[in-house]
Chains A and B, each alone.
Chain A
Protein backbone atom coordinates (compact mmCIF):
# COMPACT_ATOMS: atom_id res chain seq x y z
CA UNK A 1 0.00 0.00 0.00
CA UNK A 2 2.73 2.41 0.94
CA UNK A 3 4.77 1.70 -2.15
CA UNK A 4 1.82 1.88 -4.52
CA UNK A 5 -0.11 4.60 -2.77
CA UNK A 6 1.48 7.34 -4.85
CA UNK A 7 0.06 5.88 -8.01
CA UNK A 8 -3.39 6.81 -6.76
CA UNK A 9 -2.41 10.46 -7.10
CA UNK A 10 -1.15 10.21 -10.72
CA UNK A 11 -3.89 9.01 -13.07
CA UNK A 12 -3.04 7.41 -16.42
CA UNK A 13 -2.65 10.18 -19.02
CA UNK A 14 -5.34 10.21 -21.71
CA UNK A 15 -4.27 10.39 -25.34
CA UNK A 16 -6.22 12.73 -27.54
CA UNK A 17 -5.75 12.21 -31.28
CA UNK A 18 -6.65 15.13 -33.49
CA UNK A 19 -6.34 14.56 -37.26
CA UNK A 20 -6.41 17.78 -39.21
CA UNK A 21 -5.70 17.68 -42.93
CA UNK A 22 -5.55 20.99 -44.72
CA UNK A 23 -5.25 21.14 -48.52
CA UNK A 24 -5.28 24.44 -50.32
CA UNK A 25 -7.74 24.53 -53.19
CA UNK A 26 -6.77 26.81 -56.03
CA UNK A 27 -9.61 27.70 -58.39
CA UNK A 28 -8.69 27.05 -62.01
CA UNK A 29 -9.38 30.08 -64.15
CA UNK A 30 -10.58 29.94 -67.73
CA UNK A 31 -7.97 29.97 -70.47
CA UNK A 32 -7.74 33.04 -72.74
CA UNK A 33 -9.59 32.86 -76.02
CA UNK A 34 -7.66 31.60 -78.99
CA UNK A 35 -5.84 33.98 -81.32
CA UNK A 36 -7.55 35.07 -84.52
CA UNK A 37 -4.90 35.68 -87.16
CA UNK A 38 -5.31 37.43 -90.47
CA UNK A 39 -4.13 36.01 -93.75
CA UNK A 40 -0.92 37.38 -95.19
CA UNK A 41 -0.16 37.18 -98.91
CA UNK A 42 3.43 36.45 -99.78
CA UNK A 43 5.04 37.27 -103.11
CA UNK A 44 8.32 35.73 -104.13
CA UNK A 45 9.88 37.95 -106.74
CA UNK A 46 12.99 37.49 -108.81
CA UNK A 47 14.18 38.83 -112.17
CA UNK A 48 12.21 36.10 -113.83
CA UNK A 49 8.78 37.23 -112.68
CA UNK A 50 9.31 40.87 -111.70
CA UNK A 51 7.24 42.41 -114.49
CA UNK A 52 4.47 39.93 -113.98
CA UNK A 53 4.53 40.65 -110.24
CA UNK A 54 4.29 44.44 -110.70
CA UNK A 55 1.34 44.03 -113.01
CA UNK A 56 -0.46 41.60 -110.77
CA UNK A 57 0.33 43.56 -107.63
CA UNK A 58 -0.97 46.83 -109.02
CA UNK A 59 -4.09 45.16 -110.25
CA UNK A 60 -4.76 43.59 -106.90
CA UNK A 61 -3.68 46.32 -104.47
CA UNK A 62 -4.09 49.41 -106.59
CA UNK A 63 -0.61 50.73 -105.85
CA UNK A 64 2.95 49.86 -106.55
CA UNK A 65 4.29 50.36 -103.04
CA UNK A 66 5.21 47.26 -101.11
CA UNK A 67 7.44 46.03 -98.35
CA UNK A 68 10.27 43.84 -99.53
CA UNK A 69 12.10 41.38 -97.38
CA UNK A 70 15.21 39.45 -98.26
CA UNK A 71 15.25 35.66 -98.21
CA UNK A 72 17.59 35.73 -95.22
CA UNK A 73 15.29 38.04 -93.32
CA UNK A 74 12.33 35.88 -94.26
CA UNK A 75 14.21 32.92 -92.75
CA UNK A 76 14.87 34.95 -89.63
CA UNK A 77 11.20 35.90 -89.46
CA UNK A 78 10.29 32.23 -89.71
CA UNK A 79 12.73 31.34 -86.94
CA UNK A 80 11.33 34.14 -84.79
CA UNK A 81 7.82 32.78 -85.26
CA UNK A 82 9.08 29.30 -84.44
CA UNK A 83 10.52 30.66 -81.20
CA UNK A 84 7.25 32.37 -80.32
CA UNK A 85 5.37 29.18 -81.10
CA UNK A 86 7.74 27.18 -78.89
CA UNK A 87 7.31 29.65 -76.06
CA UNK A 88 3.50 29.58 -76.32
CA UNK A 89 3.42 25.78 -76.37
CA UNK A 90 5.80 25.38 -73.46
CA UNK A 91 4.02 28.03 -71.41
CA UNK A 92 0.73 26.26 -72.08
CA UNK A 93 2.18 22.91 -71.02
CA UNK A 94 3.49 24.41 -67.79
CA UNK A 95 0.06 25.89 -67.04
CA UNK A 96 -1.56 22.51 -67.73
CA UNK A 97 0.98 20.86 -65.44
CA UNK A 98 0.11 23.18 -62.57
CA UNK A 99 -3.61 22.81 -63.21
CA UNK A 100 -3.26 19.04 -63.06
CA UNK A 101 -1.07 19.22 -59.96
CA UNK A 102 -3.51 21.33 -57.93
CA UNK A 103 -6.62 19.58 -59.26
CA UNK A 104 -8.74 18.28 -56.37
CA UNK A 105 -8.92 14.50 -55.97
CA UNK A 106 -11.76 12.77 -57.74
CA UNK A 107 -13.92 10.92 -55.25
CA UNK A 108 -14.64 7.46 -56.62
CA UNK A 109 -17.71 5.69 -55.31
CA UNK A 110 -17.30 1.97 -54.96
CA UNK A 111 -20.15 -0.07 -56.45
CA UNK A 112 -22.05 -1.95 -53.77
Chain B
Protein backbone atom coordinates (compact mmCIF):
# COMPACT_ATOMS: atom_id res chain seq x y z
CA UNK B 1 0.00 0.00 0.00
CA UNK B 2 2.77 2.32 1.03
CA UNK B 3 4.75 1.36 -2.05
CA UNK B 4 1.87 1.97 -4.44
CA UNK B 5 1.26 5.29 -2.78
CA UNK B 6 4.88 6.33 -3.22
CA UNK B 7 4.77 5.21 -6.88
CA UNK B 8 1.62 7.26 -7.46
CA UNK B 9 3.30 10.19 -5.81
CA UNK B 10 6.34 9.73 -8.00
CA UNK B 11 4.09 9.58 -11.11
CA UNK B 12 2.28 12.69 -10.01
CA UNK B 13 5.65 14.43 -9.47
CA UNK B 14 6.89 13.38 -12.93
CA UNK B 15 3.65 14.62 -14.50
CA UNK B 16 3.93 17.89 -12.66
CA UNK B 17 7.52 18.38 -13.79
CA UNK B 18 6.70 17.55 -17.38
CA UNK B 19 3.78 19.99 -17.26
CA UNK B 20 6.09 22.65 -15.89
CA UNK B 21 8.62 21.86 -18.62
CA UNK B 22 5.93 22.13 -21.27
CA UNK B 23 4.75 25.37 -19.73
CA UNK B 24 8.29 26.72 -19.70
CA UNK B 25 8.87 25.63 -23.31
CA UNK B 26 5.59 27.19 -24.36
CA UNK B 27 6.45 30.37 -22.51
CA UNK B 28 9.88 30.45 -24.14
CA UNK B 29 8.36 29.83 -27.56
CA UNK B 30 5.81 32.59 -26.94
CA UNK B 31 8.58 34.90 -25.80
CA UNK B 32 10.67 34.07 -28.85
CA UNK B 33 7.66 34.61 -31.12
CA UNK B 34 6.83 37.88 -29.41
CA UNK B 35 10.44 38.95 -29.62
CA UNK B 36 10.55 38.06 -33.30
CA UNK B 37 7.40 40.04 -33.97
CA UNK B 38 8.72 42.92 -31.91
CA UNK B 39 11.99 42.97 -33.86
CA UNK B 40 10.04 42.78 -37.12
CA UNK B 41 7.95 45.72 -35.95
CA UNK B 42 11.08 47.64 -34.97
CA UNK B 43 12.61 46.96 -38.39
CA UNK B 44 9.43 48.10 -40.09
CA UNK B 45 9.36 51.27 -37.97
CA UNK B 46 13.01 51.88 -38.75
CA UNK B 47 12.32 51.60 -42.49
CA UNK B 48 9.43 54.02 -42.18
CA UNK B 49 11.58 56.39 -40.13
CA UNK B 50 14.32 56.25 -42.77
CA UNK B 51 11.78 56.95 -45.50
CA UNK B 52 10.43 59.82 -43.41
CA UNK B 53 13.90 61.27 -42.98
CA UNK B 54 14.46 61.06 -46.74
CA UNK B 55 11.15 62.79 -47.37
CA UNK B 56 11.94 65.42 -44.78
CA UNK B 57 15.26 66.07 -46.49
CA UNK B 58 13.47 66.49 -49.82
CA UNK B 59 10.95 68.77 -48.14
CA UNK B 60 13.77 70.86 -46.67
CA UNK B 61 15.46 71.01 -50.08
CA UNK B 62 12.21 72.06 -51.74
CA UNK B 63 11.70 74.66 -49.07
CA UNK B 64 15.22 76.02 -49.56
CA UNK B 65 14.72 76.13 -53.33
CA UNK B 66 11.45 77.98 -52.83
CA UNK B 67 13.23 80.45 -50.57
CA UNK B 68 15.97 80.97 -53.14
CA UNK B 69 13.36 81.53 -55.85
CA UNK B 70 11.54 83.97 -53.62
CA UNK B 71 14.78 85.86 -52.93
CA UNK B 72 15.65 85.96 -56.63
CA UNK B 73 12.13 87.17 -57.47
CA UNK B 74 12.33 89.81 -54.77
CA UNK B 75 15.70 90.99 -56.12
CA UNK B 76 14.35 91.08 -59.69
CA UNK B 77 11.31 93.12 -58.63
CA UNK B 78 13.56 95.48 -56.67
CA UNK B 79 15.68 96.09 -59.78
CA UNK B 80 12.56 96.59 -61.87
CA UNK B 81 11.24 99.05 -59.32
CA UNK B 82 14.48 100.95 -59.35
CA UNK B 83 14.44 101.08 -63.15
CA UNK B 84 10.84 102.29 -63.07
CA UNK B 85 11.74 105.09 -60.65
CA UNK B 86 14.55 106.20 -62.97
CA UNK B 87 12.26 106.13 -66.00
CA UNK B 88 9.53 108.04 -64.18
CA UNK B 89 12.11 110.62 -63.18
CA UNK B 90 13.42 110.86 -66.77
CA UNK B 91 9.89 111.51 -68.01
CA UNK B 92 9.83 114.67 -65.90
CA UNK B 93 12.92 115.97 -67.69
CA UNK B 94 11.15 117.37 -70.75
CA UNK B 95 8.73 119.51 -68.73
CA UNK B 96 11.48 120.70 -66.39
CA UNK B 97 13.69 121.76 -69.29
CA UNK B 98 10.78 123.48 -71.00
CA UNK B 99 9.87 125.42 -67.87
CA UNK B 100 13.50 126.46 -67.43
CA UNK B 101 13.73 127.60 -71.06
CA UNK B 102 10.50 129.58 -70.89
CA UNK B 103 11.66 131.29 -67.72
CA UNK B 104 15.05 132.05 -69.22
CA UNK B 105 13.78 133.77 -72.36
CA UNK B 106 11.26 136.51 -72.90
CA UNK B 107 9.32 135.08 -75.82
CA UNK B 108 7.08 138.14 -76.16
CA UNK B 109 10.06 140.37 -76.60
CA UNK B 110 11.74 137.99 -79.06
CA UNK B 111 8.51 137.58 -81.05
CA UNK B 112 8.15 141.33 -81.33
CA UNK B 113 11.73 141.78 -82.47
CA UNK B 114 12.26 138.77 -84.71
CA UNK B 115 8.90 137.18 -85.55
CA UNK B 116 10.25 135.27 -88.53
CA UNK B 117 13.03 133.62 -86.56
CA UNK B 118 10.78 132.75 -83.62
CA UNK B 119 8.11 131.42 -85.95
CA UNK B 120 10.61 129.09 -87.55
CA UNK B 121 11.85 127.84 -84.23
CA UNK B 122 8.36 127.41 -82.83
CA UNK B 123 7.34 125.51 -85.92
CA UNK B 124 10.35 123.21 -85.64
CA UNK B 125 9.77 122.62 -81.96
CA UNK B 126 6.09 121.89 -82.55
CA UNK B 127 6.86 119.46 -85.35
CA UNK B 128 9.42 117.77 -83.11
CA UNK B 129 6.84 117.44 -80.36
CA UNK B 130 4.38 115.72 -82.71
CA UNK B 131 7.16 113.38 -83.84
CA UNK B 132 8.08 112.63 -80.23
CA UNK B 133 4.48 111.93 -79.31
CA UNK B 134 4.16 109.57 -82.25
CA UNK B 135 7.41 107.91 -81.29
CA UNK B 136 6.61 107.37 -77.61
CA UNK B 137 3.24 105.86 -78.50
CA UNK B 138 4.79 103.48 -81.01
CA UNK B 139 4.37 99.96 -79.58
CA UNK B 140 7.42 98.70 -81.52
CA UNK B 141 9.74 101.48 -80.42
CA UNK B 142 12.43 101.23 -77.78
CA UNK B 143 10.64 100.95 -74.46
CA UNK B 144 12.89 103.16 -72.38
CA UNK B 145 12.20 106.87 -71.91
CA UNK B 146 13.68 108.88 -74.74
CA UNK B 147 16.07 111.75 -74.31
CA UNK B 148 14.43 115.13 -74.31
CA UNK B 149 16.35 117.25 -76.73
CA UNK B 150 13.23 118.23 -78.60
CA UNK B 151 13.81 121.89 -79.02
CA UNK B 152 13.67 122.71 -75.36
CA UNK B 153 17.14 124.17 -75.40
CA UNK B 154 16.04 126.77 -77.88
CA UNK B 155 14.38 129.93 -76.83
CA UNK B 156 11.14 128.78 -78.42
CA UNK B 157 10.16 125.47 -77.01
CA UNK B 158 6.88 123.73 -77.42
Residues of chain A at the chain B interface (Cβ within 8 Å): 1, 4, 7-8, 11-17, 19, 21, 30-37, 39-49, 71-72, 74-75, 77-79, 81-83, 85-86, 88-90, 92-94, 96-97, 100-101
Contact = CB atoms under 8 A, between A and B. Distances in A.
Interface residues of B, number: 61
A40 B108 contact: no
Contacts of A45: 115
Interface string B109-148: 0011101101100110011011011111111010101000
A30 B80 CA distance: 21
Main secondary structure of the interface of B (DSSP, over half): helix
State the 7 A-B residue pairs at the shortest beta-carbon distance, nearest first: A31-B139, A44-B119, A89-B91, A82-B95, A12-B48, A34-B138, A93-B87
Contacts of A7: 41, 45
A42 B122 contact: yes
B130 A12 contact: no
Given A82-B98, A93-B88, A35 B133 contact: yes
Nearest to B48: A12
B121 to A, nearest CB: 9
B115 A90 contact: no
Contacts of A82: 94-95, 98-99
A27 to B, nearest CB: 16
Contacts of B123: 41-42
8 contacts: A17-B58, A35-B133, A37-B134, A79-B102, A81-B158, A88-B137, A93-B87, A94-B88
Given A71-B108, A93-B84, A34 B134 contact: yes
A12 B52 contact: yes
B62 A100 contact: no
B57 to A, nearest CB: 10
A46 B98 CA distance: 23
Nearest to B66: A21
Nearest to B54: A15
B92 A34 contact: no
B137 A14 contact: no
B113 to A, nearest CB: 8
